[in-house]
Copies of this chain bind each other. A is one copy, B any other.
Amino acid sequence: MYSISNVSSARPPRTTARPVEHPFTDDRTGRARIRDAAIQLVADSGPSAWSARGVARAAGVSPGLVIHHYGSMDALRAACDEHVVARIREKAEAASATGAPVDVLSVLREDDGGLLAGYLAAVLAESSPAVARLVDDLVADAERYLLHGAASGRLRPTDDLRGRAVVLTLWSLGALVMKEHVKRLLGADLTAAGTGTEAIAAYVRPVSDIYAHGLFSEAFASTTRAVLEEESP
């Protein structure tokens, strides 16, 4: 689900990969600098940019230090996933606590220059236990929101709340993965925090329209429902 009232105002431009000023500066040891540089690199240049030497260069350290701190590139990858997932979880929980709509795209629209969104977009299609857990959690969040929304009368009830939560969440995440196509076709950059309301609106408007009224005419919707009921076991 996506609510227009959640559309944030203009943000500062994205930073490019370089060693490395960062929105989360809590534990800036060499270890943290390396992890953060790796996240930035993947967010900016995709999974193919992943290498010990690339990360080392971006962090301003030697490749040996990368391995020294993390033991292997796989372990670094897992650490990056866990870190990004934890951050997103925090943001999703904060949004949930305010009763705001729990759409992952709005959760990700923060002043981090598109870092979390960019990294997530890059890894969503890859096999990662941490990311799979995040997706599952986001679905659970969406399901809770749908439940409350139906109870309050804002959202239509359904006998398959979970299926709906899965579909809505995966649609949003899928659009994120397909961000370059979204950008080319609609001019909307789903990860750029610097994007103004207008540029995101090109994506949000048709989405909201479908959420508001569906796609089928009422007559056709009735027909489809009849077909659905025939096919049910």
| CB–CB A214/B217 < 8 A | no
Quick one: closest B residue to A224, CB to CB? B212
A46, A197, A206 — most chain B CB neighbours (10 Å)? A206
| CB–CB A4/B221 < 8 A | no
Which one of A69-77, A88-96, A131-139 contacts B?
A131-139
With known contacts A125-B178, A173-B178, A212–B221 Cβ distance under 8 A? yes
Q: How far is the CA of A85 from the CA of B198 in the complex (A)?
A: 33
Q: Which of A113-145 contact B (CB under 8 A)?
A: 121-122, 124-127, 132, 135-136, 139
| CB–CB A167/B203 < 8 A | yes
Contact of A4 among B122, B219, B227 (CB under 8 A): B227
Q: Interface extent on A, as a size class?
A: 35 or more
A228 within 8 A of B: yes
Q: How far is the CA of A156 from the CA of B206 in the complex (A)?
A: 12
Q: Give every chain B residue within 8 A of A211 (Cβ-Cβ).
A: 210, 214-216, 224
| Closest-CB distance, A142 to chain B (whole angstroms) | 11
A154 within 8 A of B: yes
Quick one: closest B residue to A206, CB to CB? B163
| Closest-CB distance, A50 to chain B (whole angstroms) | 10
A34 within 8 A of B: no
11 of the cross-chain contacts (CB-CB < 8 Å) are A124-B178, A158-B209, A163-B186, A163-B202, A164-B210, A170-B181, A173-B178, A177-B178, A208-B228, A210-B214, A214-B214
| Chain A residues packing against B (C-beta within 8 Å) | 1, 3-5, 46, 121-122, 124-127, 132, 135-136, 139, 153-156, 158, 160, 163-164, 166-168, 170-171, 173-178, 180-182, 184-186, 197-198, 201-203, 205-217, 219-221, 224-225, 227-228, 231, 233
* Given pairs A135-B185, A164-B209, A174-B175, 7 additional interface contacts (CB within 8 A): A4-B227, A153-B217, A155-B220, A166-B182, A166-B185, A170-B175, A171-B174
